[in-house]
Amino acid sequence: MDLVIVRVAFCLVLAVICYFFRPFGLNPWISAVAGTVAACMVILFEQRVRALSLRRLIGAVAGSILGIVGAFLISLVLRNSLPPGPTQSLLQIFVLLLMCYVGLVIGTSKGDLLNLDALGDLFNSERGAARRNLKVLDTSAIIDGRIADMAETGFLEGALVVPEFILRELQMVADSQDSSRRQRGRRGLDVLQRIQGNAQLTVQIVQDDYPAIREVDLKLIELAKDLDAKIVTNDFNLNKVAHLHNVPVLNINDLANALKPVFLPGEKMNIMILKEGKEYNQGVGYLDDGTMVVVDHARRMIGRQVEISVTSVLQTASGKMIFGKMDDPGRMEGTRGMEIAN
């Protein structure tokens, strides 16, 4: 809020100055409008600069300086080659703008290649951020809620980073007209408050934004690159895109699948048959963690607890599936027939 007041004051001051001084002999009101437009352009430029990482900012400054030096040298050649006049002045201005623009663009795009470690202790704060083992939270991971349980168990270390644009997205979901989306958004905000209340964790709200990028997932990837951080998510598509950008991802679903109980072929378990399977005479049940168990010759045992032997375990992208068979399906069916007769 303070920054907004400063920006508004800057626009007003520049408009008043232009109104009284009337640059280029313009009408006072036209000068005030021109000053306001110039102030808005300066504020827009400031917002874009704030979104840059330190490496890209240094690259942009270095590129601009090199461009100005190159433009000065070319201007010396033009001054000795062309007669004084409007043509020479126009060419010198054009060369200056061209070289500054090229240097700024190239310096910004190549800034990530700079090795700040070679510059000494000036950039200790940025290297320290990388050493803090930062983790950027995605909206899906916050709404899911399991990240809070992981934090309370002490398995998470380092600092958790929540970008401002993720908070805006959560607020939009919480203010949705759809009741289910609204409930999910409020759950995400409650999870964030729960995480912030954990004394063992450090939660940082960062203002970094990327106005040129519309997709939130791509903004997360760029932020993770700038902070040298990992992304915490359970979004399958974000997981794939981040890997394509060489950004490390901590997928909560992968962790949950890895922590599920391991059942080897031949092991026995008790399972409640809840519904009919896709194949003939199959029954389907579920473990407490949601793992699907498919049992052969168990269609007639729906609604009953049976003992089965594991035959195989299939790992899929959505989780594990366990296949099994009843040890003595004939005896089970006979017992069920006796119960029905009674």
Q: Any idea where the domains of the chain sit in the sequence? A: 2-113, 127-257, 260-341
pLDDT digits (tens, 9 = 90+) for 56-91: 788 888 888 998 998 888 888 888 888 888 888 888
Output 48 or 37, whichever has higher pLDDT.
37
- 113: pLDDT strictly greater than 70: no
Output 54 or 105, whichever has higher pLDDT.
105
- Paired tokens of 199: 């004394």
Q: How many CB atoms lie within 10 A of CB 87?
A: 11
- 274: pLDDT strictly greater than 80: yes
Going by their DSSP bridges, the two strands 268-272 and 305-316 should be labelled as: antiparallel
- Paired tokens of 282: 């199959």
Mean pLDDT of 45-53: 73
Which pLDDT score, from 0 to 100, does residue 294 have?
Answer: 92
**Which CATH number describes the domain made up of 260-341?**
2.40.50.140
Nearest to 157 by CA among 132, 175, 177, 186: 132
Output 242 or 50, whichever has higher pLDDT.
242
Q: In whole numbers, what is the pLDDT of the chain averaged over residues? A: 81
Question: For residue 17, what are the CA distances in angstroms to 3, 27, 36, 37, 211?
Answer: 21, 13, 10, 13, 30
Reported confidence tier of residue 295, pLDDT bands at 50, 70, 90: very high
Which pLDDT score, from 0 to 100, does residue 254 have?
Answer: 80
3-state SS, one letter per residue, for the chain:
CHHHHHHHHHHHHHHHHHHHHCHHHCCHHHHHHHHHHHHHHHHHHHHHHHCCCHHHHHHHHHHHHHHHHHHHHHHHHHHHHCCCCHHHHHHHHHHHHHHHHHHHHHHHHCHHHCCHHHHHHHHHHHHHHHHCCCEEECHHHHHHCHHHHHHHHCCCCCEEEEEHHHHHHHHHHHCCCCHHHHHHHHHHHHHHHHHHCCCCCEEEEECCCCCCCCCHHHHHHHHHHHHCCEEEECCHHHHHHHHHCCCCEEEHHHHHHHHCCCCCCCCEEEEECCEECCCCCCEEEECCCCCEEEEECCHHHCCCEEEEEEEEEEEECCEEEEEEEECCHHHHHHHHHHHHHC
Measured distance CA(212)–CA(205) in Å, rounded = 21
- 127: pLDDT strictly greater than 50: no
pLDDT digits (tens, 9 = 90+) for 171-215: 888 888 888 888 888 988 898 888 888 777 788 888 888 888 888
Amino acid at 189: L
- Reported pTM: 0.48
Which pLDDT score, from 0 to 100, does residue 180 have?
Answer: 81
**Which CATH number describes the domain made up of 127-257?**
3.40.50.1010
Reported confidence tier of residue 126, pLDDT bands at 50, 70, 90: very low
